[in-house]
Chain A
Amino acid sequence: MTTTTVNGKPTALPDDPDALLIDVIRDGGLTGTKLVCGSGVCGACTVLLDGTPIVSCLLPAQAAAGKSLTTIEGIGSTGLHPVQKAFMAHDALQCGFCTPGFIIEATAFHDGWRATKGTATPSREEIAAALSGHLCRCGAYEGIYRAVAEACSGRFDGSDPIAPRLEARDKVTGLARYTVDIQHDGQLEGVILRAHVAHAKITGLDLAPARAIPGVAAVVPLLDDDNMIRFVGAPIAAVAAKDRHTALKAIAAITFKPEPLPAVIGLDAARRDDAPVVFEKKDRKRAGNVSEGAGGAPVSWKGNVRGPSAPFSQKAKQAKSWLAEARQQGNPLLVEETFRVSTQQHASLEPHAAVAKFDGDQLIVHISTQAIHESMEKIAKRYGLPHDKVRVIADHVGGGFGSKGSVGLETIAAIELARAAKAPVRVAFDREEELSVAGYRPAAELKLSLLPSTEGRLKALSLTAHADTGAAVNSLIAGLARLIYPAEAKELVDFDVLSNLPPGAPFRGPGGPPMSFALEQAVDEAALRMKVDPIHLRKQWDTDPNRQRLYDWAAGLDVWKNRKPAGSQTGRYRRGVGVATGYWLYLWQTGSSVELAIKGGRIVASCAVQDIGTGTRSVIANTVAKAFDLEPQDVEVRIGRSNLPPGPGSGGSRVTASVVPPTLLAIDKLKAEIKRTASRAPAPGSNAPWREMIAASPDIAVSAKRQEDGEPPPGVRPALHEAGIMGRVFGWVLRLMNHMVVGAGVPSSVQVMEVEVDTWLGHVRVLNAYTGLAIGKLAAPMLARSQAAGAVIQGIGYALYETRETDPSSGHILSGSMEDYRIPGIADMPKLEVHFDEAGFEHVPGGSVGIGEVATVPTSSAIANAIRDAIGVRLTEIPFRPDRLVAALKGRDAA
């Protein structure tokens, strides 16, 4: 037997030559080291081997024999490392799942730098090169740059800083426990058997051979009751065994007969008349849902095409005839173009995961979820359990971006396996599952026509979207164009095109970025043809008061004022500047409740809400602290458990606006209660009267539910009111069915991007990004900035790199690894200026609305407009990869 030293402790290494270092580390209880890609790409599993950072997911355990290993738990165990302090102070993290890997790498870089360069400050380029083996999906890169630079320059050699994010310390030390890290006694590992073919009927499913394998504790079927497979990766059964290896062996032993059916893959093939039909009429209810809201009115189907769905059209016939007329007359102002956006995977670094355990009749499920309270309700309903017999827990969630909003297969499999095995079971998706069957923002084809009137107003708009939704329905892209740029007539039509691909899912501002990609390029094109400044034209066409202020900010930027004439450059490198606008609905969830208590002289705030990296804990702590003249760290925030007062889901950017108002109500109640129960008044002249009273208070508790907003100022309306009666109906349905209210005022963003195009190598680089946001008052300013930055870099990924690739005939997802699904790295992060316009939401108690979605809506279109500005050619399909750039420059169609 060989040994290694882990954080100074001698540790035995397994004899198995196939054992990988990461498993030895994590199985030994050191769960700060994360497994994400398993292929050396993301760096989440990085540890120090004799002081050198290496990826533990590829290193044979035997390679550590006789060497010394340091994991995140070994960094700062006797006092935080300057890099850890800098990450805390600069909020260089969001969900925190990538953080241990970054910290390990950055400490090695820091220590080497200090040894040779003293306290000189490394450049952005030097930092980017050193950290190029790490990926962060939340996009915390801006903070990471600052943190590493300042740690190297010696700014964090002193005492521990105060972190703007409440749980930052746990995340930089590797102590934060995510669902994948949960390890109960006797816990089994669950694995899902998935289909290899895109379309088939399954008969003769035989689970017995799997049950017969030693070490297997349970096998459950997961096939839908029609026994149909409709995409590669559709679930068939699940196994729980003593370890993953045994579970995989058992999976391979399961037998069945697939009767193959003709399959159809993707948007273009599925629309053909002779395409095989994926969902027969009787099966349509089995399709998934790609939207956050409820399904609207019934919609017709033809083959695989579901639609038209056009509730938000306005005088559609009129729009059509004006556009036809303009086309016929060859009106030079008529902008007509077909745009294409591609499939974007959420690619959260923590995979979908659940750990289920029965404790008597109590079901305890840890889930990597965006909806603690709702998951509890749904699980209780599904299994006929009372609410108090189901406990959902999520202390930390390693990203979600919309994909973890419902009770998923990982949770169902874990619960059913745990029940059958009578033991705790963990089910965690592997990276390929995560990048193929865990949901995505559907690709779409967007046909757009836009007609300005002779007076320069917006006369008619037509947008028809066909979304590549796979085995799902309910895409809403075109309809969103109703809520911006009022016109005389709009024809807005959405279609879902179903095919034998996995179902799409909601993703950060679902149809917003695709809609913006088409509309904002068309507006840009109209400005070019009308020979007016694109910001000026938007100011004219767009009536929203929040965006009016943002346009003024954007028009004043030096980068905008100093831009070169469009398409005037001829050299190899060409620079361009583009602008685009985005909006999202201001949503809040009814019934959201917060309890404030004093326990042992300390304030405790509780709510069954989750923190997926957005900073929910800090938002609550800041709100409470401010009211009582305390520091946020003085407030204990309890979230992440379903037995707390019901909180909102993290979707639709609704958490802040749902949680802050009841917190404010509860604060008033608590103040009254403290005063009522106080045995004596604070010392006269005390400069911390509340602190004293809280310390002296008996244990008390109050709670409050989300109140209605105040009366908005004249002219400030819910976004849906732009859509007339149908908008109101939609709003009512949302409130009734989803407990979501669309409030008055429109969260808005205007972005300006400066790009450089290398015309020889087809490479686009975003040099500078300017993002202006009107989302009301900032409940946690530094964290809001982190969200804004993360949204921009995710938008850059959407614009430049990310796309799912499939095999056109078999339906296999080919981009199932993180080397083939390309998310942005630290060097791809531009310099960023964030401008917050805090007005516009005074009628909301606390004045804050959500930021997550609105901040990513216009990024891809601003980049598209900047590229057009640089090279004089408009690219209509994202991602703008080198192959597309060189083809466009040559006037050729890309493959």
Chain B
Amino acid sequence: MSVAVTTAKPTAKPAPEFRAGGTDFSERRRSGVSQGAPIDISAAGSKAITWDADGAALIGALATIATIATDARIAAAYPGIAASAQGLATPQVRQVATLGGNLAQRSRCWYFRRADIDCLKKSGSTCPARSGNHLYGVAFDLGPCVAPHPSTMAAALLAYDATVTTDRRSALTIAGLLGDGSVSHADHTLAAGEMIESIALPAPLAGERASYKRAISRTYAEWPLVELCARVVIADGRFQLVRLAAGGVAPVPLRLTATEVALSGKAANSASIAEAAKAATSGAKPLPMTAYKLDLLQGLVRDVLERLSD
């Protein structure tokens, strides 16, 4: 829709922006939300998945989500990564979208995505979602911006302690890459012109299992209300390790450490899971319209962990 006022104040020269698959960039560029010209990087880096002797994978930033979703060795070693990749966007988008682009993608907040509305992530000084309609907003209110981080892969990588190497920094954790949720003007900590090169996953643990699920209203192809990637190691019927990373609930993907701790050493059964799931919302600060996300989060914890302890 062409409206009379655009907030994108014509700066002298908008900073150019990398474009990998373009599945996020193209839409913003056409709508006028983002004004920087594209710097095409689709041939400027690695698409490969390589493995070291310990069985740890290194994924090039330009590897597509479809590659990650269908790679047999990834599915065997990191089932939570594979399942997350299989569950996001649509088949056609996954073919083109890259892992680097997924991590660096911009917010899907419906105010942010309109060229004619200003907000903290643009040049504005207030967040219209906070005072307005934040139905899909965060339930852990950690900073001035109330939009959840959009990256499904970031949550999965967080569950796996993955690290990111850019052309300027190495071994960044996901928290290092995306910040702690208090930053509102950006969706990551990348400096202008800083390029993600690869993502390293530690070798999987013996006997670990993992899974992923999102809560949505339709069956497929919908941005998650809440999503969860979980890894467990179960021995003698007890949880030896529980790793839970949730998306859709906070400005950055969140580790649910209280639940992880509560389950450590506990019997892997539905009673202990149900009890520990309650801790998933500790530290939550829902907005007026987002209390439901806490119910969904608890439901997801139970769903995913029950399936993993079957």
Binding site for B on A (CB under 8 A): 17-18, 20, 38-41, 43, 46, 52-55, 57-60, 62-63, 105, 128-130, 132-133, 191-196, 232-233, 236, 248, 251-252, 254, 256, 258, 430, 432-433, 436-437, 760-763, 765, 800-801, 805-810, 812, 814-817, 819-820, 822, 824-825, 827-828, 879, 881-884, 886-887, 890, 892, 894-895
Contact = CB atoms under 8 A, between A and B. Distances in A.
Given A808-B133, A825-B221, 10 more contacts: A17-B38, A53-B95, A58-B23, A60-B38, A233-B1, A760-B302, A812-B114, A819-B222, A825-B218, A879-B217
B38 A58 contact: no
Interface of B: 1-6, 19, 22-23, 26-27, 29-30, 37-38, 40, 42, 89-93, 95-96, 108, 110-111, 113-114, 116-117, 128, 131-133, 135, 215-223, 225, 288-293, 295-296, 298-300, 302-303
Contacts, number: 199
Contacts of A43: 90, 92
Given A805-B135, A812-B114, A761 B303 contact: yes
A807 B133 contact: yes
Given A59-B22, A133-B93, A196 B5 contact: yes
B96 A761 contact: no
Most buried by B among A46, A433, A822, A884: A822
12 contacts: A20-B30, A40-B93, A43-B90, A58-B23, A60-B19, A63-B22, A63-B42, A192-B2, A193-B4, A807-B111, A808-B132, A884-B292
B270 to A, nearest CB: 10
B299 A132 contact: no
Nearest to B134: A895
B292 A886 contact: yes
Contact of B220 (A129, A233, A248): A129
Contacts of A881: 217
A882 B299 CA distance: 11
A58 B96 contact: yes
Contact of A815 (B6, B110, B302): B110
Contacts of A132: 90-91, 219-221
A882 B296 contact: yes
Contact of A437 (B1, B220, B303): B1
Nearest to B42: A63
B288 A895 contact: yes
B110 A820 contact: yes
A58 B95 CA distance: 12
Nearest to B6: A252
- In order of increasing CB-CB distance, the 4 nearest A-B pairs are A133-B90, A760-B299, A827-B219, A883-B292
Nearest to A801: B217
B133 A819 contact: no
Contacts of A806: 133
B221 A133 contact: yes
A55 B2 contact: no
Given A58-B27, A194-B2, A886-B296, A814 B116 contact: no
B295 A890 contact: yes
Contacts of B114: 812, 814, 816
| Most-contacted residue by chain A among B3, B116, B225, B290 (CB, 10 A) | B3
A814 B217 contact: no
A761 B215 contact: yes
Contact of A814 (B2, B5, B26, B110): B110
A812 B217 contact: no
A17 B23 contact: no
Contacts of B302: 760
B278 to A, nearest CB: 13
A267 to B, nearest CB: 15
Contacts of B288: 895
B218 A828 contact: yes
Given A40-B93, A816-B114, A18 B38 contact: yes
Contacts of A762: 215, 292, 295-296, 299
A343 to B, nearest CB: 13
Given A40-B92, A60-B26, A894 B303 contact: no
Contacts of B132: 807-810
A21 B6 CA distance: 26
Contacts of B133: 805-808, 814
A211 B300 CA distance: 57
Nearest to A819: B223
B221 A883 contact: no
A826 to B, nearest CB: 8
Contacts of B42: 63
B264 to A, nearest CB: 23
Max chain B CB contacts within 10 Å: which of A191, A761, A809, A892? A761
Contacts of A812: 114, 116-117
Contacts of B131: 809
A519 B92 CA distance: 43
A194 B219 contact: no
A254 B5 CA distance: 10
A432 B90 CA distance: 21
- Of B1, B93, B114, B223, most A-chain CB atoms within 10 Å: B1
A832 to B, nearest CB: 16
A436 B293 CA distance: 27
A502 to B, nearest CB: 11
Contacts of A60: 19, 22, 26, 38, 40
Contacts of B92: 40, 43, 46, 53-55, 105, 133
A800 B91 CA distance: 24
A800 B219 CA distance: 11
Contact of A887 (B37, B40, B292, B298): B292
Contacts of B296: 761-762, 882, 886
A895 B135 contact: yes
A41 B303 CA distance: 27
B93 A194 contact: no
A58 B22 contact: yes
Contact of A763 (B26, B40, B215): B215
Nearest to A805: B133
Contacts of B22: 58-60, 63
Nearest to A232: B3
Contact of A882 (B4, B26, B225): B225
B242 to A, nearest CB: 18
B110 A55 contact: no
A2 B87 CA distance: 35
Contacts of A800: 217-218
Contacts of A436: 1
Given A40-B27, A760-B303, A196 B219 contact: no
A762 to B, nearest CB: 7
A41 B38 CA distance: 22
A105 to B, nearest CB: 7
B217 A822 contact: yes
B218 A824 contact: yes
Contacts of A53: 91-92, 95
Contacts of A256: 4
A892 B135 CA distance: 16
A203 to B, nearest CB: 13
Nearest to B39: A17
Contacts of A815: 110
Contact of A128 (B23, B219, B295): B219
Contact of B219 (A40, A54, A828): A828
A743 B219 CA distance: 41
A879 B133 CA distance: 17
Contacts of A133: 89-93, 221
B292 A895 contact: yes
A292 to B, nearest CB: 27
A20 B218 contact: no
Contacts of B6: 252
B128 A810 contact: yes
Contacts of B2: 191-194, 248, 251-252
Contacts of A55: 23, 90, 92-93, 96
Contacts of A886: 292, 295-296, 299
A169 B218 CA distance: 31
